[in-house]
């Protein structure tokens, strides 16, 4: 069955005493992410854009990382208390901020390294993001995050 309701930015759906506030997150980690805040519970269901204390997926495949950071800012602008991600543990709105700060710090460290003439291989070793070593997927995805960020910054011409 094909969808018969479409929206562009925001839409509310009321069912059985609940309100589902849908917000399109824009382009970034894909173009099809929607945050859903359920009232009166104030729970935000967030898929892929941010997860509590968990590194972003691998090397940011097919993503506009600056857009992804903007998606998280949109999440932060929503009114909710509990964040229920598609991956990882349930958290709070502050976890979205933490996810954005991680990406900004990673971006800053990789960009500074590239501008200093370091190779992606060198950065994959030196950019350790130690403050996040207790986050989920750190051991498996930290190096991939560094490599993906370097690739994105180089391909988008932000290194010069």
User: Does position 2 have pLDDT exceeding 90, yes or no?
Assistant: no
**Domain boundaries of the chain, sorted by first residue:** 10-155
pLDDT band at residue 6, thresholds of 50, 70 and 90? Answer: confident
What CA–CA distance (Å, rounded) separates 62 from 27?
A: 11
**Cα–Cα distance measured from residue 15 to residue 148, given in angstroms and rounded to the nearest whole number:** 41
Rounded to 10 deg, the angle between the 138-155 and 65-77 helix axes is 110
pLDDT digits (tens, 9 = 90+) for 52-107: 999 999 999 999 999 999 999 999 999 999 999 999 999 999 999 999 999 999 99
pTM of this prediction? 0.94
Confidence (pLDDT) at 145: 98
Beta-carbon contacts of 33 under 8 Å, excluding residues fewer than 6 positions away, are: 24, 25, 47, 48, 49, 71
- Pick 10-155's CATH classification: 3.40.50.720, 3.60.15.10, 3.40.50.970, 3.30.565.10: 3.60.15.10
CA 148 to chain centre: 14
- What is the reported pLDDT for 4? 86
Counting residues of the chain whose pLDDT is more than 70, the rounded percentage is 100
């Amino acid at each position: 069955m094909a969808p018969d309701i479409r929206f562009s930015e925001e839409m509310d759906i009321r069912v059985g005493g609940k309100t589902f506030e849908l917000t399109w997150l824009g382009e970034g980690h894909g173009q099809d992410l929607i945050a859903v805040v359920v009232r009166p519970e104030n729970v935000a269901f967030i898929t892929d854009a941010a997860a509590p204390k968990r590194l972003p997926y691998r090397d940011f495949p097919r993503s506009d990382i600056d857009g992804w950071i903007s998606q998280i800012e949109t999440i932060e602008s929503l009114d909710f208390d509990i964040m229920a991600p598609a991956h990882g543990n349930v958290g709070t709105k502050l976890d979205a901020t933490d996810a954005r700060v991680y990406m900004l710090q990673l971006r800053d460290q990789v960009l500074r390294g590239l501008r200093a003439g370091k190779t992606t291989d060198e950065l994959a070793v030196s950019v350790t993001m130690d403050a996040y070593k207790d986050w989920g997927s750190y051991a498996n995805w930290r190096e991939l995050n560094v490599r993906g960020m370097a690739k994105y910054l180089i391909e988008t011409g932000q290194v010069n």
